[in-house]
A and B are shown apart, each in its own frame.
Chain A
Amino acid sequence: MEKIFIDSYGNLLKKGVKQTGPVLKLLGNPIELDKAFTLRSFLLMIRRYPELKNLSEILDSLLEIISKNDSVGNKISDIESLVFYKTIEIQGFPGKPKLTVYNSLKGVIQKKTKDLKFFHPEALLDHTLTLGKLKHIVFGDKEDIFEYETFYTLFELVEGVAWELSFNFNPLQCSIRR
């Protein structure tokens, strides 16, 4: 299937041609991100193609929050970049054995991933976002995780990033000045 390139301005390009019409038909296509792609690029893409907002309940609200802080240079020192990756996890106990496949958006610092839910979305805007390798966790053993090359679709990226950012509705400041 035709790979879709997403540039740092949030444009979707198919065979090098910028897409201007409906893009829902591209949701199942594999994607490639510009090297300068950031979380801001992701949100620019959602703004540029508003039909993508319908994939998640929170995207509209997220755009609203971000639009209040559009200045460039929103980075935190706690992470170096962002990575979006897929995990396949096989679980044996507790409960019934099961296999789960899910996508995650994490921060990266010194080659280790870091949870993002304690950061404000505004602080993550200008970190570069890359697509990572698939991680395979067997029976909860998170020490020996297998990693594989994989691909991601446009749907996975939009829906997965939206889900992860839905954990970032943190207050901008503590209500009490200590």
Chain B
Amino acid sequence: MFKKILFATTASPACDAAAKIAFELAEKYKSELVLYHVFGVPSHGGSFSVRDYVTGEEDNLGPEYIEFVKDEMKTTYEALIQKYASPRIEALAGIPSTEILRFARKEGVDLIIMGAHTRQDETGSARFRGIVGTTMQKVAQKARCPVLIISRPCETCFWYFNKIIFGTDFSKASMAAFQFAYKMAAFIGCKLYIFHALDMGTSQAGVSPGQKSIEDHIKAAKARIETEYVPRMKDFDNYEITIWEGTPYVELLKFARETSGDLIVMAHHTKDIDPDEALLGSTVEQVVLRSACPVASVNRDDKL
């Protein structure tokens, strides 16, 4: 399913939950796992010093320093390396999102795994700091492969995966997300939930729609799912279509809670715009921030 997995890590505790899933997933699918860490920005062109993102301190950049960073990474993930396999470890200086995308493209990576943040923020302050990390946001925006975002330790894990929830807003990017969700479900042999939330916040002129109107919209959404997604699943029949009304991210979280979903798959933005121009859709951000299970953000179908 995934020949090459890139685990982009800050090698800080904020990425511990993502690390566990990256190692387990690589083991499960016999994938090549690359641990990738971008550790600072060169202070200027041709410079031999880097500025550490976390401490702000300057360090001399050279082969010895890079080897030192790699050794540190090995130590950080020693327990996982001993339990699973020894991954390839790469480290370099640069702007994290740019280098992660460059590496993924160059190496033909099938899946990028990241933590949602570079730091473990207070939930209370998350709203003012930008909901998800900017590196993650930029990677999800431009990656040509699915990006799996882990924001907290998983209650189940990929190893035992059996319920995938695909949330759709019927955008073009949602079709790419569907392809990924369906392929995963078919490959694993697990149940696929196709979920859509009627956004009641966009009711016209502030007038709440009546019950009849809601029911009509639900019928129309169901018909659209049956027309656009179901025929693409061919013989796969282990799926369920659910449509709720309300605020999309709240409904999706409620649904994931009710079904005990193991993975939520969504398009990374909600409108039909050029993927390169799209910012992480607010629904995805809200879901990533709060979801108990991993969220896969899929932007394009290039690598599916």
- Determine if B192 is an interface residue (Cβ-Cβ < 8 Å): no
Closest chain B CB from A83 CB (angstroms): 12
- Determine if B292 is an interface residue (Cβ-Cβ < 8 Å): yes
- Determine if B196 is an interface residue (Cβ-Cβ < 8 Å): no
User: Which of these, B124, B125, B260, B262, contacts A172 with CB under 8 Å?
Assistant: B260
Q: Is the CB of A167 within 8 A of B123?
A: yes
- Asked, given contacts A102-B128, A163-B127, A169-B290, whether A61 binds B254 with beta carbons under 8 Å apart, the answer is yes
Residues of B within 8 A of A94 (CB): 53-54, 56
Closest chain A CB from B127 CB (angstroms): 7
Point out which of B54, B201, B257 has the most chain A C-beta atoms below 10 A from its C-beta.
Answer: B257
Closest chain B CB from A170 CB (angstroms): 4
Closest chain A CB from B264 CB (angstroms): 11
Chain A 153-178 near chain B by CB (<8 Å), digits 1 or 0: 00000001001101101111111101
Closest chain A CB from B197 CB (angstroms): 12
Q: Is the CB of A102 within 8 A of B250?
A: no
Q: Is the CB of B260 within 8 A of A174?
A: yes
Q: Is the CB of A103 within 8 A of B124?
A: yes
- Asked, given contacts A57-B250, A174-B156, whether A87 binds B122 with beta carbons under 8 Å apart, the answer is yes
Chain A 61-101 near chain B by CB (<8 Å), digits 1 or 0: 10001000000000000000000000101000110000010
- Determine if A29 is an interface residue (Cβ-Cβ < 8 Å): no
- Determine if B246 is an interface residue (Cβ-Cβ < 8 Å): yes
Chain B, 143-172, CB within 8 A of any chain A CB: 152, 155-156, 160, 162-163
**Size class of B's contact patch?**
20 to 34
Residues of B within 8 A of A174 (CB): 155-156, 260
- Determine if B129 is an interface residue (Cβ-Cβ < 8 Å): yes
Residues of A within 8 A of B127 (CB): 102, 163
User: Complex formed: what's the CA distance from A81 to B285 in Å?
Assistant: 30
Q: Is the CB of A167 within 8 A of B290?
A: yes
Residues of A within 8 A of B125 (CB): 87, 89, 100, 102
Chain B, 66-121, CB within 8 A of any chain A CB: none
- Determine if B275 is an interface residue (Cβ-Cβ < 8 Å): no
Closest chain B CB from A54 CB (angstroms): 12
Q: A57: nearest residue on chain B (CB-CB)?
A: B247
Residues of A within 8 A of B128 (CB): 100, 102
User: Which of these, A60, A93, A102, A178, contacts B122 with CB under 8 Å?
Assistant: A102
Residues of B within 8 A of A104 (CB): 122-124
Residues of A within 8 A of B257 (CB): 65, 169-172
Residues of B within 8 A of A166 (CB): 250, 290
Residues of A within 8 A of B181 (CB): none
Q: Is the CB of A164 within 8 A of B162?
A: no
- Determine if A109 is an interface residue (Cβ-Cβ < 8 Å): no
- Asked, given contacts A94-B56, A115-B123, A170-B155, whether A175 binds B290 with beta carbons under 8 Å apart, the answer is no
- Determine if A55 is an interface residue (Cβ-Cβ < 8 Å): no
Q: Is the CB of B124 within 8 A of A171?
A: no
User: Complex formed: what's the CA distance from A103 to B126 in Å?
Assistant: 11
- Asked, given contacts A94-B54, A176-B162, whether A171 binds B122 with beta carbons under 8 Å apart, the answer is no
Closest chain A CB from B244 CB (angstroms): 10
User: Complex formed: what's the CA distance from A100 to B291 in Å?
Assistant: 24
- Asked, given contacts A87-B124, A166-B290, A169-B254, whether A100 binds B260 with beta carbons under 8 Å apart, the answer is no
Chain B 223-247 near chain A by CB (<8 Å), digits 1 or 0: 0000000000000000000000011
Residues of A within 8 A of B246 (CB): 60-61
A to B CB contacts below 8 Å, 17 in the list:
A57-B250, A58-B247, A60-B246, A65-B254, A94-B54, A117-B123, A117-B152, A163-B124, A167-B290, A171-B259, A171-B260, A174-B260, A175-B162, A175-B163, A175-B260, A176-B156, A176-B160
Ordered nearest first, which 9 A-B pairs have the shortest CB separation?
A104-B124, A175-B260, A171-B260, A169-B253, A102-B124, A170-B292, A176-B160, A57-B247, A169-B257
Chain B residues packing against A (C-beta within 8 Å): 53-54, 56, 122-125, 127-129, 152, 155-156, 160, 162-163, 201, 246-247, 250-251, 253-254, 256-257, 259-262, 289-293
Chain A residues packing against B (C-beta within 8 Å): 57-58, 60-61, 65, 87, 89, 93-94, 100, 102-105, 115, 117-118, 160, 163-164, 166-167, 169-176, 178
